[in-house]
Amino acid sequence: MKATRGATPKRSAVHAVTEQMMRFKITIVLVAAALLAACESKPTSTGTATSAATTTQAAPAAPAAPTAPAPRGPVPGSQMDLEINVGDRVFYDFDKFNLKPDARAQIERWAAWLKTYPNVRVTIEGHADERGTREYNIALGDRRANSAMEYLVSLGINANRIKTISYGKERPAVLGSNERAWSQNRRAVAVVTQ
């Protein structure tokens, strides 16, 4: 008698699990059918009108005017435009803020770009490598940003369009304690602020 009673609950549990799985499968099928029905496109009108007496057809539509392709590349006058087409940074020697010839050439390109976009304003960020105290590097970054700004002003860019800020060693471009990283972190960066 106990064997019969013990077998019945097992069969019921198996039957209940099978029934739940069947309900789950049916639910999945119904959800999939609903999703497919939601994705169905509506038929488009054929351009004809029918009445009991006559059938008239609308004139064929004129071909659509070709649209200009979407512009590719950065938005003119944007930060990305500056970075891609001109370059946004100049580099300095260790513990220096004077502009080397390649830095002067880069700032001359900034000036030409800024003259092309007279409504654009920039902030020049001064940076230093990790060597030295925080205070010393903030002061060095300030001198670097100001040297770049002064050269831009000497090239005819209004000083009211330029701000400077120093981050010292707080925002390295490249992490590392070697000359390769340090040389990339001793920089001034032009950032478009509009």
Burial 88-123 (b: 16+ CB within 10 A, else e): bbbbbeeeebebeeebeebbeebbebbeebeebebe
pLDDT at 110 over 50: yes
pLDDT band, residue 53 (cuts 50/70/90): very low
Give mean pLDDT, residues 38-57: 52
Split at pLDDT 50, 70, 90, the class of 51 is: very low
Q: What is the pLDDT of residue 54?
A: 46
pLDDT, tens only, 175-194: 999 999 999 999 999 999 97
This prediction's pTM: 0.64
Question: Is the pLDDT confidence value at 18 over 60?
Answer: yes
Mean pLDDT of 60-78: 73
How far is it, in rounded angstroms, from Cα 157 to Cα 153? Answer: 5
Q: What is the overall mean pLDDT for the chain? A: 83
Q: Has residue 1 got a pLDDT over 90?
A: no
Q: Which phi and psi angles does 114 have, rounded to 5°?
A: -65, -35
The structural domains of the chain, ordered by start, are: 79-192 (3.30.1330.60)
Helix, strand, coil percentages for the chain (3-state, nearest 5): 50, 15, 40
